[in-house]
Structure 1
């Protein structure tokens, strides 16, 4: 089924008309395209009557929307959405929205403008204030006073937070690492000394052994007799 739009004179399917329960057929008097054009024209005439001019955006292609911040047409896919507005779109594109939101974050969280943060970045050479990693993204601050310090990389910023910004714990952690590294170094030196001593005395028994090189099957006691002589003496006593 179709309906004729009195503005454009075309016979269009019911899906091209809006809803209007006050009319017998339940459809709007004009088609959606003509109704939109008439509303826009009325809006412009009203604004002119107030001494204000409305920008003509009729040239914007289908599927695009004008971004007043960027001053250019942006595809609908790159525009923010807002179901509370009649158009279903927000007031700016996603890129502008994200940038302005980030600027507002610095001001709301730290009381600094984006320019202040960029100046801080330039002052510290665009490197982390602790380890020197380029392009730090986290603004460090004192959690007790809220006072900002320097821009840090993610690892350093998380490290300070995990140690609860406590200098004593950070010093103990440093001593802990240095102590274990020194202990490992000492073990390496001792092992190297043992290996060097063993290499300088080839053929000698292992450390702790009481055997002499070349001695086999006998053991010398304080009496000066070995086990072999004692066995022979015992055998002579039995024979006699």
Structure 2
């Protein structure tokens, strides 16, 4: 046990930081008092410089203030950093993720948030191919290096799997349509247009009843 001269309480040694300069190897003040002293020094220093001092004394234990979303955020939802003495970064996880994505879009596509919002408004916030709401992927022509539109995950993935080749996509569409018409014809459920079947079969002659 060790008594903190600031609060006058006898506390376990685990409540004290390390200080090799002192005989017992422990800091002079307990951790909570030391934090308060450091905060007070920081606030006083900022005031002497004529800079704004925010009062975060209301932030409960186990929470940190995020300057980006202006909220008190639980420690487990705060970004971590090995570079700071506290072990925490400057933003909560959602804010850091948003900032990282902004930097990525600017570096990769030359788009800022306003540019993405303009794309979204132009498309009425719908996927440019299937019309699903809230498309989250920026479609990019890798060969010519320009942004095309916003797509949903499925459509963006499909373009990649078809290697951005229009001929492959048309062939796939014809393939699906041909087999649907053949199946309908074999069941006698409908009377598919023979001209459509001939087109899909590459201009072949009369189509036999079985397809």
TM-score (norm: length of structure 1): 0.69
Deviation, 1:31, is 2.0
CA RMSD of superposed structures (Å) = 2.5
For residues 168-208 of structure 1, what are the alpha-carbon distances to aligned partners after superposition, in whole Å with 9 as ceiling and x for unaligned?
2222333333433444444445xx9xxxxxxxxxxxxxxxx
Structure 2 residue runs of 5 or longer lacking an equivalent are 192-211
Change beyond 3 A, Cα 1:143–1:48: same
Q: Aligned partners of 1:168 and 1:151: how far apart in 2?
A: 22
CA distance in 1, matches of 2:46, 2:65: 19
2:114 maps to which residue? Answer: 115
**Cα pair distance change 1:158/1:3, threshold 3 Å:** closer
Q: 1:124 to 1:19 in 2, by over 3 A?
A: closer
Give the whole-Å Cα distance in 2 for the aligned partners of 1:16 and 1:134.
Answer: 52
Aligned to 2:15: 16
Q: 1:129 to 1:14 in 2, by over 3 A?
A: closer
Stretch of structure 1 that moved more, 174-183 or 25-34: 174-183
Structure with higher RCO (Cα < 8 A, 6+ apart): 2
- Taking a change above 3 Å as real, the CA distance of residues 48 and 135 of structure 1, as seen in their structure-2 partners, is closer
Residue of structure 2 in register with 1:144 after alignment: 143
What TM-score, normalized to structure 2?
0.77
Cα 1:183/1:74, change in 2 over 3 Å: closer
Counterpart in the other structure of 2:204: none
Cα distance in 2, alignment partners of residues 25 and 134 from structure 1: 64
Distance in 1 between the 2:132 and 2:179 partners?
Answer: 26
Structure 2 CA distance, aligned partners of 1:106 and 1:177?
36
Q: Deviations over 1:43-92 (max 9, x none)?
A: 33333333324323222221221111122322222222223211121111
Equivalent-residue separation in structure 2 for 1:8 and 1:182 (angstroms): 84
Post-superposition offset of 1:100: 2.3
- Rounded to whole Å, the distance in 2 between the matches of 1:42 and 1:23 is 22
Question: How far apart, in 2, do the equivalents of 1:66 and 1:175 lie?
Answer: 57
Find the aligned partners of 1:29 and 1:174 in 2 and give their Cα distance.
76
Tell me, in whole angstroms, the C-alpha distance in 2 between the residues paired with 1:90 and 1:84.
8
**Offset, 1:25:** 1.9
In the other structure, the counterpart of 2:77 is 78
What's the offset of the Cα at 1:18?
1.8
Structure 1, gaps ≥5 residues long: 193-240
1:20 Cα shift? 1.9
Q: Does 1:128 align with 2:127?
A: yes
Q: How does 1:92-107 map to 2 (within 5 A)?
A: 92-107=91-106
Deviation digits for residues 220-239 of structure 1, max 9, x if unmatched? Answer: xxxxxxxxxxxxxxxxxxxx
Secondary structure, aligned partner of 1:155 = helix
Matched residue SS, 1:172: helix
